[in-house]
Amino acid sequence: MSRPFLVSTDGAVRTISINSPPWNLMSMEFIDELENEIEVIARDRNIRAVLLTAEGDDNFSAGMDLKQLPNGIKNKGSARAVFDQRLKVIKSIETMGKPWVVTLFGYCLGGGLELPLGCHFRLGATEGAKIGLPEMDLGVVPAWGGSARLTKLIGEQHALDMILRSKKISGPEAYRLGLVHEVWPISSLKTEGMKIAQKLASQPAMAVQSMLDVIVGGQNKTLDELLENEKNAVQKNRESADAKEGRRAFLEKRRPIFNQD
């Protein structure tokens, strides 16, 4: 039996690739193993960025494997436990202090969009992407935090339009709405995702974590709270080894080399 996702490491970038093509459904095993992998990544100081993608060029993920749900509920004890685990996994990605980059292509539906909504950088394919939360077509609603995160990301008007009408939007439309940061042809999408992950991994890790801590979830904080958090981040970072290296490199007119400690 193949693993639900493949893992590889290139320098300071960990790649996680969903491994059940062509639909790349998210099985119960996928979530269990992803929960464990997140703990490994969070502890490993040598991993400074993550690229989340999927095998093949057909689909990122058509969402949860619904055929497994009855047994999953039985094994976890309740439907609430099944969905709470997914909420916990996505929240862990969002708040771990290391940037996650995700590539969206083909079907990115249900959990196949809700998981990326917890990532920090989203890239979409210029062609063939179908991105949405179509749970209404099944008589249910998004259950992995999708309605909340999508609304915060693109606003109430567009979130209602996508969710209540079960709309599946293209990569360029997702870019127009602000759901993805960039769009690329499918042929280069994963390469561009890796470039961004490598760039993020090359940035000073403490400073990156500090800005993630300040910015992620900032919509729920007052301006005074955000300013206080930023001030604390400045104090934490201004005499770090990377800050000193950045100043030296500037004076020496060269590119800084961070994360040497």
Q: Is the residue at 73 inside a domain? A: yes
Domain of 141 in residue numbering reads as 5-202
Q: What does DSSP assign to residue 164?
A: H
96 and 219 assigned to the same domain: no
Question: Which tokens sit at 64?
Answer: 């949860």
Q: Is the residue at 182 inside a domain? A: yes
119 and 184 assigned to the same domain: yes
* Model pLDDT for residues 107-125, shown as the tens digit of each residue: 999 999 999 999 999 999 9
Q: Is the residue at 51 inside a domain? A: yes
118 and 238 assigned to the same domain: no
123 and 101 assigned to the same domain: yes
Q: What is the pLDDT of residue 18?
A: 98
Question: Cβ neighbours of residue 144 under 8 Å, at least 6 residues apart?
Answer: 83, 86, 87, 90, 110, 111, 114, 115
Domains identified in the chain, total number: 2
90 and 151 assigned to the same domain: yes
Q: How confident is the model at residue 57 (pLDDT cuts 50, 70, 90)?
A: very high
Mean of the per-residue pLDDT values for the chain?
94
97 and 15 assigned to the same domain: yes
Q: How confident is the model at residue 192 (pLDDT cuts 50, 70, 90)?
A: very high
The CA distance from 194 to 242, in Å, is 23
Q: Is the residue at 129 inside a domain? A: yes
48 and 72 assigned to the same domain: yes
14 and 99 assigned to the same domain: yes
Q: What is the pLDDT of residue 118?
A: 97
Q: What is the pLDDT of residue 1?
A: 59
Rounded to two decimals, the pTM is: 0.92
232 and 220 assigned to the same domain: yes
211 and 188 assigned to the same domain: no
Q: What is the pLDDT of residue 2?
A: 82
Q: How confident is the model at residue 137 (pLDDT cuts 50, 70, 90)?
A: very high
139 and 235 assigned to the same domain: no
Is beta strand 121-125 parallel, antiparallel or unpaired with respect to 182-184? Answer: parallel
